Amino acid sequence: MRISISMVRYALLGAALTAAPLWMQAQDNSRDNRKEGGRKLDRRVPRDQRDATHESAPPAAAPRVRQAQPPANQPGYPFGNQPPRPTAAPPHANGPRQFEAVRPGGQVVVTTTPAHGYVQRSIVVQNNTIIKRTYMYNGVPQARFYRPYAYRGVTLAVYTPVRYYRPAFYSYVYNPWPRPIAYGWGWNTRPWFAYYGGYFTPYPMYSSPAMWLTDYLIAATLEAAYEERMAARNDAFYGDAGSPQGAPMSPEVKQAIAGEVRRQIEQERAEQQAGYGAGPGGVFADSGSHVFVAYNALTVNSNAGDCSLREGDVLQTNGVPPEGSAAAPALVLSSRAMDCPRGSTVWVGIGDLQEMQNQMRASIDRGMYEMQSRQGQGGLPALPPGSAGTIDSPLAAQAQPDPYAGGELPGAYQQADPPQPQAASVYQPGPPTLTLGLTIEEVRAIQGEPDKIVDLGDKKMYLYKDLKITFTGGRVTDIQ
């Protein structure tokens, strides 16, 4: 059975947390022939000598290079019986290569460039197993923490804040402001803002903290991805097709993201009230609808064929994945040129969706911190009395980044052999497809103006020469 890289990563994580010696033995016996999600993992010879400045770190292991393999037919998946491939995109998918080294004891090094990636290990805090990652961005370390959460046989790493905010502050950021505000971000001169062209435009006015945090989240995602792309251009086999952006992200999509921001704020407030011992649930714990902003490149299966997701693409899930599936269907709400078409349905691995939500929650946390630190400046209102400040969780004592992490990424990156050169191949979307869930504007862009419109209030019917499209609540619910 072919499985996704995310499934393997989290399965390895769960095993390492409970039975490291058995996991190490199984790893030694199977490493030579291991495959993940259809991508062969070449065995590498570990470094004979380590830099003297990193002797405190555990011994290095061979990095694994993710490369594309043709999809194999397998029952149980839609769209031509091809399994979803929710893994880091191969070089031809217009994204940085990703290397992963798994060490004895379950420590993991993941890197896309010598200065970007993370080192992951397990720690125990108040009798709870915690996953600690030290992220590196252009030489700057940052520690983040995650709770293991078992879901359908897969161990997910669920983002857990180091510090929470006061209850009054959560109420403040959850609710609208008394009057809209204008805020100048100063992004117009930033290279990343020019790179993404007209795809993302900040709000001119903000009626609520959630809207302000939405722009902060999108900007943080695009800026981090831009820095990673620029660093990865030193890789001779990394292909960046430039920055064609396609249709701008619509106000309706940004409103959907703002709704997700409010849900994440409410979830964090509930976690803070429940206490450290309760721990968070995974991405599907509430069985509800969620919106995701992609932060890296993924190759996925869709009703438009295999296609790519990249940073800034926006997805929406509706409920839990089908029983027995390692991936969940998601509607593409917004996408950049050459990515999975807007309105298409894609299948994304459970682990990849969890990582998207993790990145969003971490960005929202940083945004709330910035909102506190900038209160009363640049147009932001002053905070209500009693709402400023944070409350440390027991993880705060472990918040120092691992000192050796910065030295591990270059070694893992340099150890890996480059992929074999291959002809450039960029996903070219086919003709636009009418699907359920499209908005009225999206249908007009595909079909043009209808011959007749039947307006029944919340329900509308667009009549074309040989087609009838029914909208309910502004979205397609039936096509005849």
Please give the biggest Cα pair distance in the chain.
76
* Cβ proximity of 373 and 79 under 8 Å: no
Domain borders along the chain are: 5-76+88-161+400-415, 163-393, 440-479
Cα–Cα dist 330/291, whole Å: 9
CA-based Rg of the chain, rounded to a whole angstrom?
Answer: 23
- Number of C-alpha atoms within 13 angstroms, CB side, residue 128? 19
User: Which of 185, 231, 183 minimizes the C-alpha distance to 206?
Assistant: 183
Cα–Cα dist 425/439, whole Å: 31
* Amino acid 217: pLDDT: 97
Dihedral in degrees, nearest 10, Cα atoms 102, 103, 106, 108: -50
One digit per residue, the tens of pLDDT, for the chain of length 480 reads 434 444 444 444 444 444 333 333 333 333 333 333 333 333 333 333 333 333 334 444 444 433 333 333 333 334 433 333 333 334 334 566 677 888 777 788 888 777 788 999 999 999 889 999 999 876 788 999 999 998 888 889 999 999 999 999 999 999 999 999 999 999 989 999 998 878 999 999 999 999 999 999 999 999 998 888 887 765 544 445 455 567 899 999 999 999 999 999 999 999 988 887 676 678 898 889 999 999 988 899 998 788 999 999 999 999 999 988 889 999 999 999 889 999 999 999 999 999 999 999 999 999 999 999 999 999 999 999 999 999 999 999 999 999 888 888 877 777 665 544 433 333 333 445 666 667 787 677 677 888 889 988 878 899 988 889 998 877 788 888
At position 56, the amino acid (one-letter code) is: S
User: Which of 419, 362, 363, 354 minimizes the C-alpha distance to 6?
Assistant: 354
Dihedral in degrees, nearest 10, Cα atoms 119, 124, 130, 133: -20
* Cβ proximity of 80 and 306 under 8 Å: no
* Amino acid 443: pLDDT: 78
Pairing of strands 116-125, 108-113: antiparallel
Cα–Cα dist 12/156, whole Å: 11
Cα–Cα dist 201/258, whole Å: 14
Question: Tokens standing for 209?
Answer: 């903290």
Distance from chain centroid for Cα 445: 28
* Amino acid 416: pLDDT: 62
Cα–Cα dist 212/223, whole Å: 16
Q: Which class for 297: exposed (0-12), middle (13-18), buried (19 or more C-beta within 10 A)? A: buried
At position 367, the amino acid (one-letter code) is: G
* Cβ proximity of 264 and 361 under 8 Å: yes
Give residue for tokens 């940004």. Answer: 254
